[in-house]
Each structure stands twice: as C-alpha cells, then as structure tokens.
C-alpha cells in the first residue's frame, strides 16, 4: 500500500479477461474493497434505495440507466468506512463521462494510483466465455475445457442439468467485445496519456497473472501492507 495516500485503481480488460477474479485477489492482499458496478446495482435494487428505485424506473421503461445514476451510486459507495484506504474499481468507468466524474471524485485524494489492464486476445475470450456451463439447480459453474464435470452436461454436486447462458453464446460474446472496444478505446488513450495504464498478460494462468500484477503494483509503490 502507498504510505501517504489512499490507493485507487481502475481494472480494465475485455469480458472474460479475469478482472473480477484478480480484483477479488487484490482486495484480500491489499485490503482494498472491490467496487463493481454490477454489485452496486444489485445492492441498490434489492434494498430499494432511492438510487435503486430510480434505476429501476429506467430499466422498467426499457431505457439505459443514465450515467448520473451510476456515478451517484459510486459516490455513495466511496463514503463507506471500508473505502478509507482506497478502492479497486471493476466495471467503472465505462465511458469518458464517467472518467471525468471519477477524476472529480478523487481530486482531493491525488487521483488514481494506477489502471491495470488485462490483455487477452479475442479468440481466448471466446474460448473462455463460450465454454462456460451453469447448473440449472444449484448454479455451480463449469467449463467444458478448463473445469469440466465428471459426466458431460451433468452437475457433479446435485446431478442437475448444465446449460449455456445466452450471455455466454458466441454471437452475444462477439457483440460484447464490439461494445467493449467501442466504449473503452477512448479510455485507454486517456489513461495512457496520463501514464496510468499498466498492461498485464491476462491469458496466463490466474496465479501467474496475480504475480505479474503484484510486480507492476510494486513498481508503482503499491504493495500489501
């Protein structure tokens, strides 16, 4: 951990790169909470907070939730006690409007410390995501190549049927990649210009990715402490 300031990082990388996994590992090693926009939305919707109800009104109407609502959720999250040492952002910011808002939120903290970006080529992303299978009964996650069940199509735990989610099908993954590149290209340029971007090969086994991430963080004065 940096000695004199709070540590804030934005994790970047395509879908299936392992951002969530690595953010959770660093959360434990660095003592920094992982702030995922998906988790924030689920929390606010489940608890029917003011922001959750506002987001739901847009979603029920079939509209995109405005940046302002997402930004306010992040602002509220940063006021909680566990963010005292800093935070790891996963899935935020997604566009330049959110980038500027985050810069403003962190202006008094010296801004972001680092933007680690996990790089994984499109073929590997497709292999990782399209191979996922979920148990209809218990929700256990398998992979046809990396973590196959003992019997194809059958959950090891309860014998439930394994299925492929629509989000994990090839056409959907291609679209997710298109959206990712369209949204994040400006962000990559922005953070590169600010000398915050640090690329890490995300195609390696998770333990190797973690080791490389920790080495990059150490180079920037961020270490477990």
Residue-wise pLDDT for 12-28, tens only, equals 999 999 998 899 999 99
CATH architecture type of domain 7-33+80-219: 3-Layer(aba) Sandwich (3.40)
**Quick one: which of 100, 74, 125, 118 has its CA closest to 186?**
100
Mean pLDDT of the chain: 93
| CA dist., res. 8 & res. 34, Å (int) | 10
pTM for this model (two decimals): 0.86
Residues noted as catalytic: 19, 94, 132, 165, 176
Domain range list for the chain: 7-33+80-219
- Indicate the pLDDT class of residue 197, thresholds 50, 70 and 90: very high
């Amino acid at each position: 951990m940096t000695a004199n300031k709070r540590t804030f990082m934005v994790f970047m990388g395509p879908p299936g790169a392992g951002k969530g996994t690595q953010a959770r590992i660093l959360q434990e090693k660095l003592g920094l909470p992982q702030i995922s926009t998906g988790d924030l939305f689920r929390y606010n919707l489940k608890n029917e907070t003011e922001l959750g109800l506002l987001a739901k009104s847009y979603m029920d109407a079939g509209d995109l939730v405005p940046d302002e609502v997402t930004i306010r959720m992040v602002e509220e999250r940063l006021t909680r006690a566990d963010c005292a040492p800093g935070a790891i952002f996963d899935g935020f910011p997604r566009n330049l409007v959110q980038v500027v808002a985050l810069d403003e939120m962190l202006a008094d903290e010296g801004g972001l410390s680092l933007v680690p970006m996990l790089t994984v080529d499109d073929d590997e992303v497709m292999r990782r995501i399209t191979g996922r299978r979920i148990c209809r009964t218990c929700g256990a996650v398998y992979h046809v190549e990396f973590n196959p069940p003992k019997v194809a199509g059958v959950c090891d735990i309860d014998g439930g049927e394994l299925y492929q989610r629509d989000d994990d099908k090839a056409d959907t993954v291609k679209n997710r990649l298109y959206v990712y590149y369209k949204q994040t290209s400006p962000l990559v340029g922005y953070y590169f210009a600010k000398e915050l971007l640090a690329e890490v090969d995300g195609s390696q086994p998770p333990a190797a990715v973690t080791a490389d991430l920790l080495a990059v963080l150490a180079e920037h004065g961020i270490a477990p402490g």
